[in-house]
Amino acid sequence: MFRWLAALAALSLAACASATSQQRYTGPIIDMHLHAFPADANGPPGQFMCPGMAADLRYDPKTPWPVAFAKRGFHPTCNHPIAGAKTDAENRDETIAALRRNNAIGVLSGSEERVKDWMAKAPGLFIPGVRFSAKPDEPTADQFRKRFEKGQFKVFAEVTAQYYGIFADDPRLAPYWKMAADLDIPVGIHIGSGPPGATMLGYPDYAIQNPLHLEPILRKYPKLRIYAMHAGFPFAEEIKALMLLYPQLYVDTGILQVGTPRKDYYAFLKDLVRAGFADRIMFGSDQMTWPGLIDEGIAAINDAPFLTYEQKKMILHDNAARFLRLDEDK
């Protein structure tokens, strides 16, 4: 009798857990990783992107990689490719449309002029960020300080110094970390791997950045809010070690919805959730020139069979709202 009741209770709990994991989150969303880019930022405009694009590239070096990469973009091999914008206006307007149909706002980086244009087109939809690569011709830390004090940006992201072989603990970035810490500016930095063949796509100094390069900064500035973009993929063990030791570190999911096969993305995400970090994972689409990345990224979170409804809500909204202190702004 009691064994029968226990079995029935266990089945009931399992059914409830399954129903909870299947429930989709439809509330407000915060996208921590958007780019105000021209349509040709990733090569010829109008290229398609397939989920799992980094797998099965079948590349023969007899063809220059930029040529092969673009050819792949115009002849997608998947059943449901994501269309690339054909014009600058289309990229802007379709990104705005994607955010609105998903009840989302987002952190937007790019050139100062383009960010202003996108924000003027859709007031209240974007949180202004900046794109910083630590190149010699870019603003100094003091110049960024003045821009922030004038209200020209709210998030120091995306830091893409990795594209030029400059890692987080490089002395050239030290003044910028101090500036962000002094002004209490949240920072988002490109961590982990990157686009297929990056060194052959115009970034000869690109190098894979291990998340552990963040440790000296996290130790020196314990109050500085930092989020590792792309969740430091594929360095799961390193990012888990850092998140355990440094509670001010968050991650975003940018590009993982298409940059790796879905099973691989889910295994990585599940690893972080299983380790107890569901409350510091934030949604990011990494929309560059494919507005559909926003829809695909949100769907990937909602479709994850191992996430509860509450965890979906945290990843798609609550964690970012806490990280950005949006309630305080209101």
If you average pLDDT over residues 64-90, what whole number do you get?
Answer: 93
Contacts of 167 (CB under 8 A, 6+ apart): 161, 207, 209, 213
10, pLDDT greater than 80: no
Give the count of domains, the chain: 1
If you average pLDDT over residues 207-231, what whole number do you get?
Answer: 98
Residue 68 lies in a domain: no
Q: Answer yes or no: are the C-beta atoms of 15 and 88 closer than 8 Å.
A: no
Residue 171 lies in a domain: yes
Question: What is the tens place of the pLDDT at every residue in 144-188?
Answer: 999 999 999 999 999 999 999 999 999 999 999 999 999 999 999
Tell me how far apart the alpha carbons of residues 297 and 284 are, in angstroms, rounded to a whole number. 7
Q: Residue 185 is part of which domain span?
A: 24-43+88-329
Residue 32 lies in a domain: yes
Half-sphere exposure of 62 (CA within 13 A, CB side): 1
Answering whether pTM is above 0.85, one says: yes
Tell me how far apart the alpha carbons of residues 69 and 63 are, in angstroms, rounded to a whole number. 10
Residue 67 lies in a domain: no
21, pLDDT greater than 90: no
If you average pLDDT over residues 275-295, what whole number do you get?
Answer: 98
Residue 265 lies in a domain: yes
Tell me how far apart the alpha carbons of residues 207 and 193 are, in angstroms, rounded to a whole number. 8
pLDDT at 58: 86
pLDDT at 330: 47
Residue 65 lies in a domain: no
Residue 131 lies in a domain: yes
**Residue 141: C-alpha distances to residues 146, 151, 156, 252 (Å):** 9, 15, 11, 25
Which CATH number goes with the domain that contains 37? 3.20.20.140
Residue 12 lies in a domain: no
270, pLDDT greater than 60: yes
95, pLDDT greater than 50: yes
Amino acid at 175: P
